[in-house]
Amino acid sequence: MESEHKQERIANFLYEIGTMRKLMRMHRQVLMTDDITDTIMSHSYRVAMIGWFLAKEENADPYKTVMMSLLHDMGEIRSNDHNWIHKKYIKIFDEEINEEQLGSLPYPDLKNLIDEYEKRESKEAILVKDADTLDQILLLREYQWAGSKEAEIWLHGKAGDGKTDRQLEKLKTEIGKKIGAAIYKVNPSDWWGNLWTSKNRK
């Protein structure tokens, strides 16, 4: 790839990534929320941070885990996000998207990482999927804390079904389950409990 064309391809890819800020996640429809901050980009960022912690805890490769986390939903720039109702009626050509979006870049690294993630065989790929699920649990807890009855059901099941932490069933790793249990335990506003003060510093 000629140098000028290579740089233009990178520039176009960076513009494409920027559109992730504008793509809303589609569970808003069934969660009955209007959270405009929940975009594919904001989701991917927190997944990457979660993935870093999981990798450190499991002695996995943090770089690979974070990069896979940042890439895991990148194809949705072209296919859009779909909730579980949409998925019943829509076919997504993931391999074609990955090849055209990442395989056309001047370096093969990103395409190799997304291919590894899609196989879900390596430790890092499994951790990234758990990080993806943990971000969803965090989001549901935040919505529940704000009073969403639908988020409450997603987190704990319907009354009488005997489930109290149903989202934890989706996690594959022990560290993922432990952090998931902690997310259920602490409140979304606990992080600032020891920070607030009514007095300005002098």
**What are the pLDDT digits (tens) for 69-87?**
999 999 999 999 998 889 8
Report pTM: 0.93
Which of 168, 166, 176 minimizes the C-alpha distance to 127?
176
Mean pLDDT of the chain: 93
pLDDT-wise least confident of 23-37, 70-84, 125-139: 23-37
Question: Domains in the chain, please, with CATH?
Answer: 3-188 (1.10.3210.10)
Q: What percent of the chain has pLDDT over 70?
A: 97
Return the pLDDT at 63. Answer: 98
Residue 175 sits at the vertex; the CA angle it makes with 177 and 130, to the nearest 5 degrees, is 65
Query: Would you place residue 163 in the very low, low, confident or very high pLDDT band (cuts 50, 70, 90)?
Result: low
Return the pLDDT at 43. Answer: 97
Interatomic CA distance for residues 5 and 3, integer angstroms: 6
pLDDT for 22 beyond 90: yes
User: Which own/partner pairs from 53-59 qualify as long-range (CB within 8 Å, at least 24 positions apart)?
Assistant: 53/179, 54/127, 54/130, 54/131, 54/173, 54/175, 54/176, 54/179, 55/124, 55/127, 57/175, 58/123, 58/127, 58/173, 58/175
pLDDT for 14 beyond 90: yes
| Residue range 119-141: mean pLDDT, rounded | 98
Query: Would you place residue 56 in the very low, low, confident or very high pLDDT band (cuts 50, 70, 90)?
Result: very high
Tokens encoding 26: 């589609």
Query: Would you place residue 158 in the very low, low, confident or very high pLDDT band (cuts 50, 70, 90)?
Result: confident
Query: Would you place residue 47 in the very low, low, confident or very high pLDDT band (cuts 50, 70, 90)?
Result: very high
Return the pLDDT at 46. Answer: 98
Query: Would you place residue 197 in the very low, low, confident or very high pLDDT band (cuts 50, 70, 90)?
Result: confident
pLDDT for 161 beyond 70: no
Q: Are 167 and 136 in contact (CB under 8 A)?
A: yes
Task: Name residue 132's amino acid.
Answer: D
Interatomic CA distance for residues 55 and 90, integer angstroms: 33
Return the pLDDT at 162. Answer: 64
Question: Is the Cα dihedral 32, 147, 46, 178 positive or negative?
Answer: negative
| Residue range 38-51: mean pLDDT, rounded | 97
